[in-house]
Chains A and B, each alone.
Chain A
Amino acid sequence: MKAIVCVKQVPDTSGKVAVNPDGTLNRASMATIINPDDKNAVEAALTLKDNTGCEVVVVTMGPPPAEGMLRELLAMGADRGVLVSGREFGGSDTFATSQILAAAIKKIGVDAEDVVFCGRQAIDGDTAQVGSQIAEKLNIPQISYAADVKIEGKKVTVKRMLEDGYMTIETQTPCLLTCIKELNEPRYMSVGGIFDCYQKPVEVYDYNTLKDDPLIEVDTIGLKGSPTNIFKSFTPPQKGQGRMLEGADKNTAAELAAELLKKHII
Chain B
Amino acid sequence: MAEFNNTNLADFSGVWVFCEQRQGELQPTVLELISEARKLADDMGVEVCGLLLGDKVEGMAKELGAYGADKVYVCDDPALATYTTDAYAKVICDVVMEKKPEIMLIAATNIGRDLGPRCAARLHTGLTADCTHLDVDVEKYIAFLKENSTLPEAQYASINKEDRNLKMTRPAFGGHLMATIICPRFRPQMATVRPGVLKKGEYNEEKANAVVVEKLPVAISEADIKTRVLEVVKEAKELVDLTGAEVVVSVGRGISKDVEKGIELAKELAAEFGGVLGGSRAAIDSGWLTADHQVGQTGKTVHPKLYIALGISGAIQHKAGMQDSECIVAVNKNDTAPIFDVADYGICGDLFKVVPLMIEAIRAAKAGK
List residues of A whose CB falls within 8 A of some B CB. Answer: 13-15, 17, 19, 23, 25, 93-95, 98, 123-133, 135-137, 140-145, 157, 161-172, 175, 226-239, 242-245, 247-250, 252-254, 256-261, 263, 265-266
Contacts and interface: CB of A to CB of B under 8 A. Distances in A.
B7 interface: no
Interface stretch (B32-40, B225-233, B249-257): B225-233
Nearest to A256: B345
Contacts of B328: 242
A14 B231 contact: no
A137 B362 CA distance: 58
Interface residues of B, number: 96
A13 to B, nearest CB: 6
Contacts of A239: 323, 341-342
Given A93-B126, A257-B362, A257-B365, A265 B156 contact: no
A235 B175 CA distance: 8
Nearest first, the 7 A-B pairs at minimum CB distance are A248-B349, A227-B126, A228-B126, A132-B117, A129-B117, A127-B129, A253-B357
Contacts of A127: 117, 129-130
A162 B186 contact: no
25 contacts: A13-B173, A95-B120, A98-B117, A126-B297, A129-B129, A133-B117, A137-B121, A140-B226, A144-B114, A161-B110, A162-B232, A166-B232, A232-B156, A233-B172, A234-B150, A234-B178, A235-B176, A239-B341, A242-B342, A243-B345, A248-B331, A253-B354, A257-B362, A257-B364, A258-B365
A143 to B, nearest CB: 7
Given A13-B173, A236-B149, A266-B273, A126 B346 contact: no
A13 B316 contact: yes
B122 A15 contact: no
Given A13-B173, A254-B361, A233 B315 contact: no
B303 to A, nearest CB: 13
A169 B230 contact: yes
A135 B358 CA distance: 53
A247 B249 CA distance: 21
Contacts of B125: 95, 227
Given A234-B145, A245-B345, A260-B365, A165 B129 contact: no
User: Which of A130, A242, A250 lies at the interface centre, i.e. has the most chain B CB atoms within 10 A of its CB?
Assistant: A242
Interface of B: 22, 82, 84-86, 89, 109-111, 113-114, 116-118, 120-122, 124-130, 145, 148-151, 155-156, 165, 167, 172-186, 226-235, 247, 272-273, 292, 297, 305-306, 315-317, 323, 327-329, 331, 335, 340-350, 353-354, 357-358, 360-362, 364-366, 369
A184 to B, nearest CB: 15
B305 A265 contact: yes
Given A167-B232, A227-B183, A253-B361, A142 B122 contact: no
Contacts of B124: 95, 227
A228 B149 contact: no
Contacts of A142: 85, 114, 118
B361 A257 contact: yes
Given A237-B150, A244-B335, A228 B181 contact: yes
Contacts of A260: 306, 327, 362, 365
A72 to B, nearest CB: 23
A266 B109 CA distance: 33
Contact of A228 (B85, B178, B182, B228): B182
A188 to B, nearest CB: 19
A236 B178 contact: yes
B86 A141 contact: yes
Given A132-B114, A256-B361, A168 B176 contact: no
A135 to B, nearest CB: 7
Given A95-B126, A127-B130, A253-B358, A169 B228 contact: yes
Residue among A15, A131, A175 with the highest chain B CB neighbour number at 10 A: A15
Contacts of B84: 169
Contacts of B172: 124-126, 233
B181 A256 contact: no
A263 to B, nearest CB: 6
A164 B305 CA distance: 25
A76 B113 CA distance: 30
A236 B150 contact: yes
Contact of A243 (B86, B111, B151, B346): B346
Contacts of A175: 226
Contacts of A250: 357, 360-361
B311 to A, nearest CB: 13
Given A129-B117, A245-B346, A253-B354, A14 B317 contact: yes
Nearest to B237: A164
A163 B361 contact: no
B128 A162 contact: no
Contacts of A230: 179-181
A244 to B, nearest CB: 5
Contacts of A23: 150
Contact of A231 (B118, B180, B357): B180
B306 to A, nearest CB: 5
B226 A261 contact: no
A140 B272 CA distance: 52
Nearest to A123: B297
Chain B CB count within 10 A is highest, among A165, A253, A266, for: A253
A220 to B, nearest CB: 8
A166 B233 contact: yes
